[in-house]
Amino acid sequence: MPKQHKKRRFISGVFWLSLLFLPGCDLPDLFSDSVTSSAEDFVLEALTESGSLVDMPSETEGTIFVYVVGEVLHPGVYELKSGERLDAAIRAAGGFTEAAEPASVNLARPVTDGEQVEVLSREAYVARGVIYSQTGSGLVNINTADVRELMTLPGIGETRAQAIIDHRNKHGPFETIEAIMQVSGIKQAAFEQIRDKITTGR
């Protein structure tokens, strides 16, 4: 069908349907069921033929982007489906290297949009464990820790560690450990990874 004719059919259909929503219109008197249905079909057909409906994304579809670094075969940014687990991100990055320590990440947790995931080597994982043991309580004080100390927390890379410090400097000490979710990039999923490893020192 010529494009010009399709355009006329689409405009005509929209015009008739728009009358259905005019204030004060008595629908049963103005249109019969058959006329209303025909008008709706008219617009639907015109939209489909023009490609306007075909190209519309489904509301249920959703994608997120995750940055995978460290001991994976192909570090980089990967597109995943919303709600997927960290295991999918690691597989997208080619899997663990021989030097990787799989226990440094929780493969079962959901990943979030814009998140950075770092897979540690066995040596780095052991080194960070030593730092935990040197803190006495084994907890990282989010009100006093520097970037290096904050990076010992699972899922906290350099960018997030610096964001925690910047937030602390601007707004003052964290009153509760839950308050760390006020930091950009730290949502519920990330908090669940670290909640039993942090303290406010209060």
Cα–Cα distance for residue pair 5/73, rounded to 1 Å: 55
Judge whether residue 164 has pLDDT over 60.
yes
Tell me the pLDDT band of 23, cut-offs 50, 70 and 90. low
Q: Are residues 72 and 14 in the same domain?
A: no
pLDDT 10s digits, 115-152: 888 898 888 877 665 444 444 456 888 988 888 888 88
Judge whether residue 60 has pLDDT over 90.
no
Domain that includes residue 95, residue range: 60-134
pLDDT 10s digits, 74-93: 999 999 999 999 999 999 99
How many domains, the chain? 3
**What is the percent of the chain with per-residue pLDDT over 90, rounded to a whole number?**
22
Residue 70 has φ and ψ, to the nearest 5°, of: 90, -140
Q: Are residues 69 and 83 in the same domain?
A: yes
pLDDT 10s digits, 62-72: 999 999 999 99
The domain that contains 130 carries what CATH number? 3.10.20.600
Q: Are residues 149 and 201 in the same domain?
A: yes
**Residue 55: inside a domain:** no
Q: Are residues 19 and 39 in the same domain?
A: yes
**Average model confidence (pLDDT) across the chain:** 75
Burial 115-153 (b: 16+ CB within 10 A, else e): bbbbbbbeebbeebeeebeeeeeebbbbbebeeebbbbb
**Residue 80: inside a domain:** yes
| Structural Rg of the chain based on CA atoms | 27
**What contacts 201, CB < 8 A, 6 or more positions away?**
141, 143, 144
